[in-house]
Amino acid sequence: MHETYTTVVGNLATRVDLRSVPDGTAVASFRVASNERRLDRTTGSWRDGDTLYVNVTCWRALAENVHASFGVGDPVVVHGRLFTRSWEKDGRRQSVVEMEGYAVGPDLARSRALVTRTSRTEAAGASVTVAEASAEALDLEVHDTDPSPWATDGERQEGQSAAHDSRERTTPAVGLPAARPAPAEAGVGH
């Protein structure tokens, strides 16, 4: 049988529930609502059409990161394996659309996000960011004074290292004002 992989763009309709199975593996489950938008040609305005609700399950590090990053209403993009789970209740056949999520992220068309990269040592219990680990390995100091994370080496302020671009970037995934300029403001494309 062939598996169906798809991407759903929508909003979190429920909170992300995180639990552990008996062997200690983290499992997160949540529901995504994807609304169809249609242009009403008689009024010229956009209207909501049908809504697709998909139950999503994520495992391991992805489960923990989704739980730490998203809340109800956040715009998300979920990619994974789509399937239908069926059962019988009171003599009637019922079914629900579900997805095993393999990748989950914020929908940047409708939100802004800053990224915090996790390292393998963090998963083992140490809280070391990628920037700190890189700077320590190279014996460099991480600076946070460059207004442009897109700056080339020639555009960096004097005294800043190439490790600067890998500095820690944190936020709860959605809804915060931009902490760095948009590409056009940073001189990209000029």
- How is the chain split into domains, by residue range? 4-106, 120-166
CATH of domain 4-106: 2.40.50.140
69-73: Cβ within 8 A, 24+ apart? 69/106, 69/172, 69/173, 70/12, 70/16, 70/30, 70/104, 70/106, 70/173, 70/174, 71/12, 71/15, 71/16, 71/172, 71/174, 72/12, 72/13, 72/14, 72/15, 73/11, 73/12
Please tell me the distance from the alpha carbon of residue 87 to that of residue 24, in angstroms, as a whole number: 28
Instruction: Extract the tokens encoding 166.
Output: 């890998």
Nearby residues of 167 by Cβ (< 8 Å), 6 or more positions away:
131, 142, 143, 144
pLDDT computed for residue 61 by the predictor: 95
Segments of the chain with pLDDT less than 70: 1, 120-190
Please tell me the distance from the alpha carbon of residue 58 to that of residue 56, in angstroms, as a whole number: 7
pLDDT computed for residue 182 by the predictor: 43
pTM of the model: 0.61
